[in-house]
Structure 1
Amino acid sequence: MTIMNPIEVTLMSMQRFNLIPLQEAIDILGVSRSTFDRWRKLKQLPFVKIGKEILIDKKELEQWVRLHAVSLQNPVFTAGASSTVSTQESPTLTVGYQSGTAHMWTSLIMKELGWLEEELAAANPSRVVQVKWFDGANGAVLLQGMVGGSIQIASLGDYPIVLGASLCQTFPAFKPVLIAFDGKTSGGQGISLILRKGLEPSDISEICGWSLTSAAQSSAGRRLSKLLQSLGGGGDQVIHKEMDESMAGIVKRKIAGCAMWEPYISLVNYHGVGNVLFQEGIGEDYLTGVVADERWVHHHEGDTIAYLKAHLRVHAFIRNDPDAAAELISRIKGIPVEIAVAIMTKVRWDASFYTKDMNSLAQLYQENGAVHTSTLSKLQDTRWNGDYLQQAIKALNLPQLDRHPLEGDWSAEQLY
C-alpha cells in the first residue's frame, strides 16, 4: 500500500474537485490581491478555505465572471464596487505594464498592493472606476493598445516612448504624453548583450556575424543595432524575438546571444547559463516612463493624478523597504529574493523630469526621425507634461518640484 504525503493528498483533492490556488485565480482575473479580497467580501466571489489555504472552484469562478462581466469576450470588473452597481455605468481605466521588465516593476507592485484602486476611491468615493491591467511582452504591444484606445496609461522604455511620438505622424488622433519617469539607470546599466555559455569573441567585431536577437522596437534592440553598426555590421541583422524565447534559445544554445534587460541579465548570471558581454551596460542612460493619451488625460485629470500618487507611493516603498518589495516580486515572478533586491537597489526610482533626461529623449527623437529638432522647448511643448506629477506630489505633501526640468545630474536628495 502506497502512503501519500499531505501535499500529494491536497493536490489530488484539488484536481478532483476542480479547485485552483488563490494566486492562479488572481492571475486569471488579472487583478491585485487586495481587489480580489474586496470582491470576495462585497461581490460574493466564491471560495473554499481549507486550513489556512484559500482555494477557488474554477467552474464557480467562471459562473461568477459571467454574472459580473459585461461580456465573455471583453470582461470588465468593478474594483471596490457594490454588487448593485452596473459595470456599464462605470468608467474604465486600463493600465498597460511590463512585468518582465525590472525597471518598470512599479506598476506590477501597484497592481499587487491595490494602491491605484485605493487612490481612485479616495479621490471620489461615490464614483467607481473599473481598473483593468494588461501585461504586455514589450512596449510595442502596449503602444498598439494605446493607439487602438484599449489602454489609457502604460509603462514604456525610452525607445517605445519615442516610437509613440513617431506614430503621431501616422495616427494624428493619437497623442501620447509623458507624465512621469519610472526606473532609471545611468550609462545603459540594466541592458546588456548576453551570449550563450562558452561563446566568447576574441574580438568584439566577431559578433557582427553571429545570430543575435532582441525584442522588436525595444530599447535593448535599438542599442544592439547601434552597437553592431559601430562595429561595421548591419543593425538590421537583429532577429526579433521576445525575451523568454531568446532566454530559452541561449540555454538550449540555439542562438548566439540576445540584447536583454533586467531581470534576465541577473538571472543569467545567477544560474550560470550564459555570459554577460557588457556588465556595465550598453549605451547612454536607460530611462523608462509613464505615458498616457493626451486627450484621455485632459478629460480624466483626477484619475491621472490618482495613478501618479500610487506611482510615487510605490517608488517610496521600493526605496525605503527594498527587501519587502523584493519579497513581493519574488512571490509574483518566482525570482530569488536576493536577485530581486540586487536589481531594485541599482535602479533609481524617480518620477521627476531632469534636463538630462529630456535631452536623452530628444536625441532619441532625432535618431528616430520623429522630431526634426532637438530643442528642449519644442519637446516641452509637445511631448511631456509635468503638471499632473506636481499635483500628485502636492497631494502627498512631498517637497514641491519646479515645473521646469531639474538641472544638473540626478540628485541623491530629490527623489520622487
Structure 2
Amino acid sequence: MVFAEYSDNSGSEGDPLNQGFDHFFGYNCQRHAHSYYPDYLWQDRRKIPLQNQPAVPGHAKLPPGSDPRNPAAYAAFQGTDYAPDRIRSAAVDFLRANKERPFFLYFPSTLPHVALHVPQADLEPWLKQGWHDPPFTAARGGYTPHFTPRAAYAAMISRLDSDVGVLLDELDRLQLTENTLVVFSADNGTTHLSEEVDAEFFNSVGELRGLKGSLYEGGVRVPTIVSWPGRIPAGTESDFVSGFEDWMPTLAEFTGARDVRRNDSIGGDGVSLVPVLTTLQQTERPWLYREFPGYGGQLSLRQGPWKLVRQNLSKGSETTELYNLETDPGERTNLAAEHPEKLTTLSTLVTEIRRPSKLFPLRPFDQGGDRGQ
C-alpha cells in the first residue's frame, strides 16, 4: 500500500495504482499536499471528503487590514480535519487487514513539509519554549502564514514522531515486530525557506553546507533508521554511503525475492545493503551519482571520500568544485586546482555513467521539455 502525493489527475501514469500498488490513500497532487486541512483525500480513485469547509490553502495571505502582530489574524489557517490523522489511521487499518500475510506499506508522510499547519493541541507544548520568533506573514511569498513558525515546525516534527510511534505500537500489538523490516528516512535536507523554517536556529544540518535544492551534503545527506529485531543488531551505526536506489535490491534480498548479489537486474544502479545492515561489513559503492535540473542545473559524483560538484550548468556559468569529505565534511575548501588528476578522473566517470533524460533534461547535455527547470 502507498500513502503519498502524486500528479494531479487520478488514473495518470504516476497514479500509484498504475505503478504496482494495490491500494492508495492520501494526496495525489503535490500542490494539494501543501495543505494539511484539505477538503478531500483520495482512496484509490475515489475522493474522500474531509470536514474542512472551507479547506485551508497551502498558499494564502493574511486577511486585508489584519494586524500581523495579533494571533487572532491567523485563526483562518486552523482547520478541523487534519489530513495526517486520516492517513495514519488508514495505515493502521491496512496493517490490521494484512496481518496474516506478507505486505509492503509505503508511508511517506508530508510532515513536516510546509505549509505550517498543525493542531493547536500539538502546538501548545512548544509555545512554552519562549522562543519569541517573528511571525511568518507571507508578505514576500511562501506558504500559509503562521504566528509562531518555530513552534509550528517543531510541533510538526513531533507529530511525525508520534505517527511513526503509532505504527510501531500497532506492529507490537499485532505481534508483527519480530518479522517486519522498518525503514525510516528523509527525502532531502531542510528547506531553504528561512522565514518559515529557521534552519540556523534549529541547527538543522549541523556543520554541513547547503539546504534543500542543493547537491552539497546539507541538501542530500539524511539519516536513516532501520529496525528488524533478530536480523539487524540493535544499537549499531554505520557511515556507509548509500542512496534510495539501494532499497529495492535490499528489500528483494531480505524477502528472498532474489539474491541480488548474484543477479542485480532487479536493482538497477542500486546495491543491496543487507551485508552492512546485518554485519556492518560491506565493500563501499564504486560511486554515487546525483543530478538535478533545478536550481540552475547541478550534478555531483561521490567516490570514496572525494566529491565532484558542478553547478549552474543550465545558466552557462558552470562552476566545478572538488571536495574531500573525509577531511572537509562541510565542503568549505575547493580542491579542484590542487588535485587536477582527481578532477579529471571523476569528470570522466560522469561522462561514462550518466544517461540522457528527455523528461528531466540536464542542460546543456540533454534536449527535452522544461520540466525541472
TM-score scaled by length of structure 1: 0.23
Higher relative contact order (CA 8 A, sep 6+): 1
Q: Which has the higher strand share?
A: 1
Q: Which has the higher helix share?
A: 1
TM-score scaled by length of structure 2: 0.25
